Amino acid sequence: MESINNFVSTINGFVWGPVMLILLFGTHVFLTIRTRFIQRYIGKAVKLSITPDNEAEGDVSGFGALATALAATIGTGNIVGVATAVALGGPGAILWCWLTGLFGIATKYGEALLAIKYRVKDKTGAMVGGPMYALERGLGQKWLGILFAIFAGIACFGIGNMTQANSIATMVEANFHIPAWISGIILTVATALVILGGVKSIAKCCEKLVPFMAGFYILGCIIILVINAPYIGGAFKIIIGSAFTPTSAGGGFVGATIMMAIRFGIARGLFTNESGLGSAPIADAAAMTRNPVRQALISSSGVFWDTIIVCALTGLVLVTSIMKNPDAMAGLNGGMLTTAAFNTIPVVGPIVLTIGLITFAWSTILGWSYYGERSWVYLVGTGAIKPFRCAWVIVVFIGSVTALDLVWNIADTLNAMMAFPNLVALLGLSGVIVTETKKYLWNDKMDDWSTEEIPIVNK
């Protein structure tokens, strides 16, 4: 088993290596240029996200679709992943992580636009869409759509289910001494109550959960930063300076080259906001929206909250805490670094971290359940819905009581492989993205209705 795990780890290192980072970040920059820096409309995007479009066709509100996507996206990577970037790439990695989010807004926008443009209705009348439909209907490359659905349909059980459930059970046992099997039962029941009701139930739950968990975590970070206020100015200087110059070891920081800062900053940024992986558009396709551009803008605001806000605050908390307590933080990595940073603040720190990780992980389980379900519906039809939901709930319990490094590695590899067909759709249909953006946004016709009929697929 260990040899298999090592082999998969080697493959994982390749698919998440320089080629993937260049492709994803390059696509971010390319689409930023083609959309004339769509990031400048982020204010409009946030406003639209809280403006209902109830008369439009769709299964959930635009905010509900955004909340579902954010539920899946905002996860342990926003907390532990940023710490890993700092530990391996130095404080400069935070700036590169932030820049990845900034440019990734354009990619998220493009993904969502294509999801709405090429969405269909299944035989139950539910809206379905995502990269697989864009590849099939937009590019005529159904085989790539099938590949994407296979990768997503398998990866979801690992990265979106078992690993998240295990992290919750492990944390609860470590902090509250509750056996993993008890946590597993509670988590399984809670998940079943939500996902068995379908996307409307998931979106309704996420609309309440996401603002709470993100707001609570952001408030906790702000409190910690107020306590660490004397170090904030110095933290900004270190983050910006070490992003472009080598970092010397000392003061609680590890030594890092410029390339290390770039590599780990971009890698963690891409992993946390998922721009380019093709997952979030599956939720966007269910949104009630009168034209593709409205929901695309709403979806793009998710990267703003996920990376520009949450990851940036996490990074500042980590760097200021290291500056304040260099001896206590020296030599720590990943989760241990995050835990130590939050534990330096009595009472508030540990509570914020524990609640943040638990809610972030559970929301990921909810969001990814919908991604996986829609992928299997694309492959075998609506008959897969009930079996998938039952299997998902069972796997939540298995993940709670079983630590499977191999499952994590396989899922992580498949998660990366989702990006390849999705990038083909984004680059091959970039002209469509520009045309739709010009039609509704640049011509100031955001309130216009799309005249295209949504086809019905008989499966």
**pLDDT tens digits for range 157-170:** 987 888 888 888 88
Query: For position 51, which CATH number holds?
Result: 1.10.4160
- The 10s digit of each residue's pLDDT in 413-432 is 777 788 899 999 999 999 99
387 is a domain residue: yes
- Give how many domains the chain has, as a whole number: 1
Paired strand residues for 287: 60
* pTM of the full structure: 0.91
456 is a domain residue: no
The runs of H, that is alpha helices, within 158-308 are 163-176, 180-195, 198-227, 232-242, 258-273, 280-284, 292-303
Contacts of 108 (CB under 8 A, 6+ apart): 273, 275, 280, 299, 300, 302, 303
130 is a domain residue: yes
457 is a domain residue: no
For the segment 70-80, the average pLDDT, to the nearest whole number, is 79
Say yes or no to pLDDT of 1 above 60: no
459 is a domain residue: no
Phi, psi of 247 (to 5 degrees): -100, 130
Per the CB < 8 A criterion, the answer to whether 430 and 110 are in contact is: yes
449 is a domain residue: no
Residue 343 binned pLDDT confidence (cut-offs 50, 70, 90): confident
Residue 429 lies in domain = 2-442
Phi, psi of 74 (to 5 degrees): -75, 105
Q: Which range has the worst mean pLDDT, 23-37, 69-83, 97-111?
A: 69-83
Residue 335 binned pLDDT confidence (cut-offs 50, 70, 90): low
pLDDT at site 132? 96
Residue 252 binned pLDDT confidence (cut-offs 50, 70, 90): low
150 is a domain residue: yes
CA separation for the pair 69, 67 (Å, rounded): 5
User: In this structure, how many other beta carbons lie within 10 angstroms of the beta carbon of residue 208?
Assistant: 10
Percent of the chain whose predicted confidence (pLDDT) is above 70: 94
Contacts of 219 (CB under 8 A, 6+ apart): none
262 is a domain residue: yes
- The 10s digit of each residue's pLDDT in 284-322 is 999 999 999 999 999 999 999 988 898 889 999 989 988
